[in-house]
Amino acid sequence: GEDVEQSLFLSVREGDSSVINCTYTDSSSTYLYWYKQEPGAGLQLLTYIFSNMDMKQDQRLTVLLNKKDKHLSLRIADTQTGDSAIYFCAESPRGGYQKVTFGTGTKLQVIP
């Protein structure tokens, strides 16, 4: 079945850039998502990218997609302590959000 993998933990210093990586196996993936989960809260959709795009930028967030390698990354510029959270990568095929597959999440710790 589909699989989405992420490293479990990332620690960065405040002000540095964070890069969270994700790999997926489903070649029919059309939508790729990044969600943020703060303690005791639900998932917040940060951004998503269509598989026909290579890059998407939104303020401090940059998403890069390497479709050939099935590799997705989320870069957070000027990381702040408020960015500390768990970040989930997810993918779904076209028209099939109900078939979305989430990664295990990467816990980002920002050190002041």
3-class SS of residue 107: strand
Tokens of 20: 């969270």
Kindly indicate which of the ranges 13-21, 55-63, 64-72, 89-97 contains the residues binding other proteins, using the contact rule CB under 8 A: 89-97
Smaller CB separation from other proteins, 40 or 82: 40
Span 1-30, contacts to other proteins by CB under 8 A: none
3-class SS of residue 29: strand
**Max CA-CA distance within the chain?**
42
Smaller CB separation from other proteins, 19 or 45: 45
CB of 72 to other proteins, least distance (A): 15
Residue 38 CA to residue 92 CA, distance in Å, equals 23
Choose, by CB under 8 A, the member of 29, 79, 92, 106 that binds other proteins.
Answer: 92
